[in-house]
Each structure stands twice: as C-alpha cells, then as structure tokens.
Amino acid sequence: MERGVEIFAAINFIVMGLSHVVAPTAWKEFFTVLHSKGTAGSIMNCFLSIGMGAFIVAFHPGFDGVVPSLLTIYGWLSLLKGTVYLLFPHLGVKSIETPTKKDAKLFIIPGIVLTGLGVALLVYPRF
C-alpha cells in the first residue's frame, strides 16, 4: 500500500511540478482568482492541501529511508497547513495573497522541487 501512495504522489508531483515550470503565469492567475474570493478562496485552497495530506498520512506512515520520509513529512505538513487555514481562514487568505504580488517566474522554483521529489519517489527503490 505504501508503494501505491508513493506512485500516486509521484504522478501528482510530477504533473503539478511540470505545470509550475511550463505555465507559471497560469499558477499566478489561479492564486489571484483564489485570493479574489476571500475566505471562500482560502477554503478552496485548503481542500487541496488537506486532501493530499490526509491521504498520505493515512496510508504512508513510514519513515523508512530518506525519500519515503520526505513524502511522509510532506503529508503531515500539508495536513497541518490545511487544518490551520480551515480553522483560521484569514491566515489562508493572507498566504494566497503572497503569490499574487510576485513575479510569475517564481512558481518555477517549487515546480522544480515538486518534479524532483516526484521523480525521486518513482526511482528510489532502485537505488
């Protein structure tokens, strides 16, 4: 089951990461739209974090190796982020405002990180 979660996360990370790299302006626009919706936009953003985070925490509890541990930590941090922003939506609104004020090209950096983590999750058992 843990390997299935790793593959699921890897696919998500690679696709979303490449999207950040190839279409950073679309991501800036996405966060601009979310921010324009206020607390409703913050809650929509939380669903992404809490959904992925809860899935990873529930089905990938392991810290067996560096790469799997990174996934588990990512899951806990996503769950925490989603929980905090759902309980305190004004903090979530503030967090989604930040990307709207920055150059769209800055979305490339997390895209590279996400893509790298996704690839690592796919190939780590072969190391």
pLDDT for residue 102: 85
Give the number of domains in the chain. 1
Furthest C-alpha separation in the chain? 45
Quickly list H helices, 23-65.
Answer: 24-36, 39-59
- CA 26/CA 104 separation, integer angstroms: 8
Contacts of 113 (CB under 8 A, 6+ apart): 17
The CA distance from 47 to 117, in Å, is 21
The angle, 0 to 180 degrees and rounded to 10, between the axes of the packed helices 24-36 and 2-22 is 100
CA nearest 118: which of 70, 79, 83? 70
**What pLDDT sits at residue 114?**
97
Provide the domain limits for residue 120: 2-126
Q: What is the pLDDT of residue 127?
A: 46
| Residue 100 near residue 3, CB atoms below 8 Å | no
Q: Model pTM greater than 0.85?
A: yes
Per-residue pLDDT tens digits of the chain, which is 127 residues long = 889 999 999 999 999 999 999 999 999 999 999 999 999 999 999 999 999 999 999 999 888 889 999 999 999 999 999 999 999 999 999 999 988 888 999 999 999 999 999 999 999 865 4
- What is the C-alpha separation between 69 and 22, in angstroms, rounded? 28
